[in-house]
Every structure is written in structure tokens, then in C-alpha cells.
Amino acid sequence: MEKIAFAMQLNPGQKKEYVKRHDAIWPELKTLLLEAGIRDYSIFLDEKTNILFVVLRRTADHTMNQLHEEEVMRRWWEFMAPLMKTKTNNEPESRPLELVFHMD
């Protein structure tokens, strides 16, 4: 399993709605993420900056890079777009984070 992290930008005042929507994540989206090899997926919020920090593990044969092709993923992005900074196709803008320390 590979552990990766990335950051996204939540719009001001959207924490409550963002949490609400993730608390009710669509079952078909959860299935899609699991089928893509995504495991142990966590999102943290820095309330001072509204930056979302994502940490997840993915299998060696993951298909994360193809998620943009999936209809349910595109619907989720459209659903979440009003809450966060996105690209023109509603995909959340994200930037990878570099691992600088790890301890088991």
C-alpha cells in the first residue's frame, strides 16, 4: 500500500455543509473508491486557512487516475463544487503534499 496526501481549498463558511455531505457519502461513490484501490481515506481541515488535507492509502494496482472518467465521480464533484475551489470540470483543485517525516 502506498500512502499519499494532498491539499484542497474549502470555501469560507462551508465546513458544516462539507461535513454533512461527507457524513452521507453516496454508497455508490464509496464502492467506486474501494474498487479503485483507495483505503484508509481521511480528510482533515485547518479551520484557520480552510485548507483540507487528505491522507489515504492506495493499492499498487489502484485506478485513482481514472476516477475522472466515472459518472458517479463527476456527479459528486458537481455536488461538492459550490463548497470548494474547483477546476472548470468541477474536479477539486488539489496539490500533492510531500512526505517529510514518518514514524511507525
Residue numbers annotated as active site: 22
| pLDDT by 10-residue block (mean), the chain, 104 residues | 97 98 98 98 98 98 97 98 97 97 93
Q: pLDDT at position 30, please?
A: 98
Phi, psi of 5 (to 5 degrees): -145, 150
The class (CATH top level) of 2-96 is alpha beta
- Give how far Cα 65 sits from Cα of 36, 49, 70, Å: 9, 28, 11
Residue 53's identity, in one-letter code, is F
Q: pLDDT at position 50, please?
A: 98
Q: pLDDT at position 72, please?
A: 98
Q: pLDDT at position 33, please?
A: 98
Domain residue spans of the chain:
2-96
Q: pLDDT at position 67, please?
A: 97
